[in-house]
Amino acid sequence: MWRLSARALLFVLMSCSAAFASDDIVQKAMRDELDRSMRELTLANLERPYFIAYRIMDVTSTSASATFGSLIRSRENHVRMLNVEIRVGDYSFDNTGFISARSDRGDRGSSGFVNVLSLDDNYEQLRRYIWLATDIAYKKALEDLAGKQSIARNKNLSEGVPDFTHEYPVVADDIQPSIDISRLEIEKRVRSVSSLFREMPEVLTSSVRLLVANVDTRYINSEGTAFHKLQPWVSFDAKAALQASDGMPLDNSLAIYARKWIDLPTTEEITSRLRRMVAETSSLKRASPLGNYNGPVLFEDEAGAEVLEQVFLPGLLASKAPVSDNPRLLAASAQQQTSFVNRIGSRVLPSFVGLSDDPTLEEYLGKQLPITYKIDDEGVSSHATVLVQNGTLKTLLSTRTPVEGLSHSTGNRWGEGPMATNVVVAVSKGYSRSELRQRLLRMVTERGLDYGIIVRRVSNPVLADQEDGYRQPGSTSSEAPLNCLLAYKVFPDGREELTRNLQLSGLNATAFRDVAGVSTDLTLITEPMRTASVTFLDGGDPNVVSVAAPSLLFENVTLGTPTVDAPRPPVMPHPYFDSRN
């Protein structure tokens, strides 16, 4: 087990002090209060903290939303947030991961509490905020440790897995160029794009939102780690809602993410993509529902990456089961566990497929990637991680909260837990687009089916959960079913017929082990991932993942039509398009 000698620790702290020699007021307040807390924070005859970390995030954002060419929201925002993490006990057993049935505050995880700070760089005021937040977090840590120890006396909790990993201290900066765009420019863009829907009488409701944010993060912990990073963020999303003749809602969305303003497509490019999106959605009005289906399904191009991201990737995030004195909470938590932690060394993909994640990757397939970082949110250096090699699971994306078989962080802490960032699939044996289609039709013939299914777009439940671009942390998107936005019956003679109202009900992460075929070409997508991690304020959801993946052919997938009450279409037409006015 790694330990710092006294001389090494002194060197680290001296290096940290040197790095902060020309500190700003915020960093000085953090460092001084951390030093004081580690020396003096204690409650009569109770344990002192063995680890304290402070994270302060300054989020400045400008956003605007519009519908039908008119603004519905526009604002500039600046918020400063403090996160206090206190661990009491030791690396093998501490207060974290405990959910108390007696606490109305619920579990805040090892990250402690989030507090809103003063925006003024007033040293005394900042010290006061940090002091009060530390006091609250310390008392809660003691309470949780006592509850966890009580359970430990009757159960073997640790199973040889410690509560916190030892990592080498890092002192570094990761500063990316900030984005400076006026609110007028953002308002102009959303007005222009949303006015497109004045040409589309079939669209019942629509919205367009554009957000630009700069996230300035300062972090320091008692081990000597300290970093300062600045991450810019651009987020665009548009939604359109239509209705089929039977009243069934037909919703679609477009989301674009970037870390530079110049990487955002032009207004003309965005409107072109929106026209295509609405045309595809409008064509569904004339399509007939499929009913139930069980058989081969080809997830083609974007859909291959979408279904991999939404169904398979959550299993690659290492999550440790919580400890609780409430059986119901434990049962609910167990149902939400999707990690492959017990499958390391087993085959989870075909032998001709591999998969890796690299937070430091800045571009792929000629495109800039919106999320890239050198240091994760716990101050661990990030790097490329091979997760699956020749179909066999090698490791998981982990944080400093270890799970069985993973004794160190992979440098993938993002928000409240591990997060995939830039995922690339490696294919050693693939097929061309036409060859993969022929394999699908051959399966259809062998099964004696009338047709197979090709899916070209899969909905993203996180986007569906958002209201005006904002998703509340802990939403139920991770439990939402997946809908096939664009799906086609494909007959043995090659003919295609559009269908609608298909919902995936027979596909889980285990099914990816038996993928029947993949394409040689990869499609790159970026979309929100189905996690309960916290989001940035004002709609800037950084929990997106970029995935470069092939088309995927499954031999057996179950699709069904959801049973929902379809609302009736509006009694009168949209007034803007009513020629009688």
Q: How far apart are CA 426 and CA 389, in angstroms?
A: 9
Write the CB contacts of 205 (distance below 8 Å, at least 6 apart in sequence). Answer: 67, 239, 240, 241
Q: 10 Å Cβ neighbour count for 225?
A: 21
CA 63 to chain centre: 21
One digit per residue, the tens of pLDDT, for the chain of length 581 reads 344 444 444 444 444 444 444 458 999 999 999 999 999 999 988 999 999 999 999 999 999 999 999 999 999 999 999 999 999 999 999 999 888 766 544 444 444 457 899 999 999 999 999 999 999 999 999 999 999 998 888 776 556 789 999 999 999 999 999 999 999 999 999 999 999 999 999 999 999 999 999 999 999 999 999 999 999 999 999 999 998 877 888 899 999 999 999 999 999 999 999 999 999 999 998 888 888 899 999 999 999 999 999 999 999 999 888 888 777 766 666 555 667 988 999 999 999 999 999 999 999 999 999 999 999 999 999 999 999 999 999 999 999 999 988 999 999 999 889 999 999 999 999 999 999 999 999 999 999 999 999 999 999 888 866 554 444 434 444 456 788 999 999 999 999 999 988 888 878 999 999 999 999 999 999 999 876 444 444 444 558 999 999 999 999 999 987 766 777 788 888 888 876 66
CA distances from 159 to 215, 343, 403 (A): 39, 17, 10
User: What are the backbone dihedrals phi and psi of residue 222, each rounded to the nearest 5 degrees, phi first?
Assistant: -75, -10
User: Quick one: which H or E segment has residue 322?
Assistant: none
Say if CB 62 and CB 235 are below 8 A apart: no
Q: Indicate the helix (H) or strand (E) that contains 507.
A: none
Q: Indicate the number of domains in the chain.
A: 2
- pLDDT, position 480: 60
Instruction: Give CA–CA dist 290/309, Å, rounded.
Output: 25
**3-class DSSP state of 555:** strand
Sign of CA dihedral 28, 33, 36, 39: negative
Q: Is residue 238 part of a domain?
A: no
Length of the chain: 581
Contacts of 458 (CB under 8 A, 6+ apart): 299, 302, 303, 306, 307, 310, 482, 483, 484, 485, 504
Residue 463 lies in a domain: yes
User: Measured between alpha carbons, how far is residue 21 from residues 14, 15, 31, 194 in Å?
Assistant: 10, 10, 11, 49
**Domain boundary residue, one of 113, 147, 178:** 178
Question: Residue 359 falls within a domain, yes or no?
Answer: yes
Same domain, 163 and 312: no
How many C-beta atoms lie closer than 10 Å to residue 21's C-beta? 6
In DSSP terms, 252 is beta-bridged to 240
| Burial profile 239-278: b = 16 or more Cβ within 10 angstroms, e = fewer | bbebbbeeebebbbbbbbbbbeeeebeeeeebbeebeebb
Which of residues 153, 178, 203 is at a domain's end? Answer: 178
Spatial neighbors of 421 by CB under 8 A, at least 6 apart, are: 357, 358, 359, 361, 371, 372, 373, 412, 414, 545, 546
Distance CA 206, CA 242 (A): 9
Residue 12 domain-assigned (yes or no) = yes
Q: What residue numbers bound the domain in which 518 lies?
A: 293-320+327-560
Instruction: Note whether residue 518 is domain-resident.
Output: yes
Choose the final residue of a domain: 178, 206, 241: 178
Cα–Cα distances in Å, from 235 out to 23, 201, 374?
31, 27, 21
Is 141 inside a domain boundary?
yes
pLDDT for position 160: 76
> Is the domain of 308 the same as that of 452?
yes
